[in-house]
Amino acid sequence: MTGHDAFEQVRLVLEEGERAVASAADAAALAAVKSALLGKSGRIPALMEHLRALPKEEKPRFGAEVNVAKKRIEDAVLEREAVLGRAATGGPREDLTLPGIAPATGSLHPITRTIREVVRVFGTLGFEETDGPEIEDEFHNFVALNIPEHHPARDEADNFYVSNRRLLLRSQTSTIQVRTMETRRPPLRIVAAGRVYRPDTVDATHHYMFHQIEGLAIDEGLSMADLKTTLLAFVRTLYGEDVNVRLRPSFFPFTEPSAEIDVEFPGRGYVEIGGCGMVDPAVLEACGVDAARWSGFAFGLGIERLAMRRFAVPDIRRLTENDVRFLRQVH
């Protein structure tokens, strides 16, 4: 046999061998192919017999080629074993007693959970849930709430107008006070939660879109004491009996007197969670409620602020980014 034939033999054994390995149909067939190629008297070892006949200078290259062919066939056998499955190699089968992998289920967003909890707590205090539209007209967002034309709160720069100052994305859920009084007769006690929009610069505690829960109670003889009792009961139910709360005198066009509600946050001091007050008689009258007979209190609380204390969230932006690594931690 010439040197050329010897090299040709290597090529042939490799080509046929790879084909035989790839077409082995099961573990037994593969074992037979493997032995016929790589076994002691297999075709690969047999190639070495050509070595003797080769000229001295060809021997190292021939040896190297045989080794390459051997390695490629070994790799092909391993690959085929993997394809035929672990059972084909006689390895261990799946352990059917191992626990399964539970599917990952989603969960409610912390804002949704906070809204539901807050609505539930006010429910125990006798407040019914209602709602209103996110796109409002100037009457419900401003006029009926004692915020007349040219009031700074109506500035183009402070609101998201959608049509020539007539319609806007509501800047507060107080709109729902108006809608409720327009359609229902007192006595009434309602809460309504939803999104509000203001072109604020986003930082750790402000966002241009956030959520409020509005509360309104109209009855005969309601006073500031009822307002305070209600808010205190709410905050204590939510955060525990020992939470520190304070009302700070403030001003809102639709309440008189008005106050801001501060709650102590662990490690952060008092944080404002919303506004409240006795409904201004002008608002009652604008909504067709007889202010001589009825009085009322109202409040509007920031859901994000409540959620941040509840779940110890340091930055409001975490609540809108929807990063699942964050959401998985908030429980």
Q: How far is the CB of 136 from ligand DAH (least distance, A)?
A: 12
Rounded Cα–Cα distance for residues 111 and 131 (Å): 16
Rounded Cα–Cα distance for residues 159 and 202 (Å): 15
Q: How far is the CB of 327 from ligand DAH (least distance, A)?
A: 27
Q: How far is the CB of 100 from ligand DAH (least distance, A)?
A: 49
Please state whether the peptide bond connecting residue 187 to the residue before it is cis, i.e. omega within 30 degrees of 0. yes
Is residue 275 a contact residue for ligand DAH (CB under 6 A)? Answer: yes
Kindly tell me the burial class for residue 4, based on how many C-beta atoms sit within 10 Å of its own C-beta (0-12, 13-18, 19 or more): exposed
Give the residue, chosen from 214, 263, 296, 318, that forms a contact with ligand DAH under the rule CB under 6 A: 214
CB 217 within 8 A of CB 230: yes
Token duo for residue 109 = 């967003």
Give the residue, chosen from 14, 300, 303, 309, that forms a contact with ligand DAH under the rule CB under 6 A: 300
Q: How far is the CB of 232 from ligand DAH (least distance, A)?
A: 16
Choices 34-42, 106-114, 261-269, 294-302; region in contact with ligand DAH by CB under 6 A: 294-302
Rounded Cα–Cα distance for residues 139 and 120 (Å): 30
Is residue 277 a contact residue for ligand DAH (CB under 6 A)? Answer: yes
Please, where are the H alpha helices in the chain? 3-22, 27-38, 43-47, 59-84, 110-124, 138-141, 175-183, 224-239, 281-286, 303-310, 318-321, 324-329
Q: How far is the CB of 274 from ligand DAH (least distance, A)?
A: 6
Cβ closer to ligand DAH: 9 or 180? 180
Cβ closer to ligand DAH: 9 or 175? 175
Closest among 230, 222, 229 to 255, alpha carbons compared: 222
Rounded Cα–Cα distance for residues 36 and 40 (Å): 9
Q: How far is the CB of 132 from ligand DAH (least distance, A)?
A: 13
Rounded Cα–Cα distance for residues 111 and 116 (Å): 9
Choices 135-143, 199-207, 268-276, 316-324; region in contact with ligand DAH by CB under 6 A: 268-276
* Amino acid at residue number 274: G
Is residue 227 a contact residue for ligand DAH (CB under 6 A)? Answer: no
Is residue 299 a contact residue for ligand DAH (CB under 6 A)? Answer: yes
Choices 1-9, 53-61, 86-94, 298-306; region in contact with ligand DAH by CB under 6 A: 298-306
* Total interface residues for ligand DAH by CB under 6 A: 13
Is residue 159 a contact residue for ligand DAH (CB under 6 A)? Answer: no
Of 5-34, binders to ligand DAH (CB under 6 A) are: none
Q: How far is the CB of 244 from ligand DAH (least distance, A)?
A: 21
Is residue 174 a contact residue for ligand DAH (CB under 6 A)? Answer: yes
Residues 6+ apart with CB under 8 A from 296: 186, 216, 217, 218, 219, 222, 278, 279, 284, 289
Is residue 194 a contact residue for ligand DAH (CB under 6 A)? Answer: no
Is residue 127 a contact residue for ligand DAH (CB under 6 A)? Answer: no
Q: In this structure, what are the phi and psi dihedrals at residue 264, rounded to the nearest 5 degrees?
A: -75, 125
C-alpha to C-alpha distances, 116 to 176, 192, 196, 319, nearest whole angstrom: 18, 11, 17, 16
Give the residue, chosen from 255, 283, 307, 308, that forms a contact with ligand DAH under the rule CB under 6 A: 255
Task: Give contact residues for ligand DAH (rule: CB under 6 A).
Answer: 172, 174, 214, 252, 255, 258, 274-277, 298-300
